[in-house]
Amino acid sequence: MSERTPIVAGNWKMNKTLEPARELAGAVAEASDEVGDVELIVSPVGPYLRAVGRTMEGSDVGLAAQNVHWAESGAYTGEVSPTMLRDIGCSHAIIGHSERRQYFGETDVSVNRRARAALEHDLTAIICVGESLAERKGGDTELKIKLQVRAALSEVPRSLARNVIIAYEPLWAIGTGESATPEQAQDAHATIRQLMAGLYDQKLADTTRIIYGGSVKPHNIDGLIEQPDFDGALIGGASLQADSFLSIARSVQDYVG
């Protein structure tokens, strides 16, 4: 890693009811001072964002929505606008998670619209990209992630791209217990950074945080941290318990602190 502030983000997905969500958020907020060199983020389900944000009030923990719409308001049943998310204290939005692409028809075009709207409303966009197992086996990993990053950032000016975090999440590693190896993650992250330099410039590429997601656990974080283009993790399963989430955060803190 480098001068880029590392991120440890918990994507809680559709898990936790209200009280357990608040308990977890409270534990994360309480421990956040211990890991002062790490940017912590949690992402509960939409209806709990406000309550979780309140629980963490006074801490530096970021609050991420799991999705965001591109319109300000209107006839879009089931969606939430960036202004509404800002209103309730969100700082970040996860966009284009593979589960959204796989189960809810999210496309590169909609990911781009969501990303632009989020950024225009001062939400940091955590844009997720990653290849399937078939694409990896077919040697198409690089092509796939370049296509996804390029599409997601289409018409995003440099001034807004500074507020982008890219999450590399290979589909075959999500929820499977089989993390990418540190070398596989590094290769993908380096590809993304190089692409960012081409799309914008080297300075922007050097300051963009590129994080990894896919079966990150306390036992496999160490190898990832050592990779030069690894700037943190987007964690699913292991973010649902304060112990495992904070153990990963402490490992990152120990490395950079």
Measured from the CB atom, is 148 or 215 closer to ligand 13P? 215
224 in Cβ contact with 250 (< 8 Å) = no
- Residue 248 engages ligand 13P in binding (rule: CB under 6 A): no
Alpha helices (H) along 2-125: 18-31, 49-55, 82-87, 98-103, 108-120
Secondary structure (DSSP) of 187-228: HHHHHHHHHHHHHS-HHHHHH-EEEEESS--TTTHHHHHTST
Q: Which of 56, 65, 237, 252 binds ligand 13P (CB under 6 A)?
A: 237
- Residue 67 engages ligand 13P in binding (rule: CB under 6 A): no
What's the closest the beta carbon of residue 55 comes to ligand 13P, in angstroms?
A: 21
Catalytic hit among 69, 97, 99, 131: 97
Q: Which of 213, 232, 245, 249 binds ligand 13P (CB under 6 A)?
A: 213
- Residue 214 engages ligand 13P in binding (rule: CB under 6 A): yes
The residue count for the chain:
257
- In the residue annotation, 178 being an active-site residue is answered as no
d(CA 175, CA 189): 20
- In the residue annotation, 97 being an active-site residue is answered as yes
Neighbour-count burial for 189-198, b at 16+ CB within 10 Å, e otherwise? bebbbebbee
User: Mask of contacts with ligand 13P, 9-48, x by CB under 6 A?
Assistant: --x-------------------------------------
- Residue 96 engages ligand 13P in binding (rule: CB under 6 A): no
What's the closest the beta carbon of residue 195 comes to ligand 13P, in angstroms?
A: 21
Measured from the CB atom, is 141 or 200 closer to ligand 13P? 141
CA distances from 179 to 169, 200, 208, 240, 257 (A): 10, 30, 23, 17, 25
- Residue 215 engages ligand 13P in binding (rule: CB under 6 A): yes
- Given the rule CB under 6 A, which residues bind ligand 13P? 11, 97, 169, 174-175, 213-216, 234-238
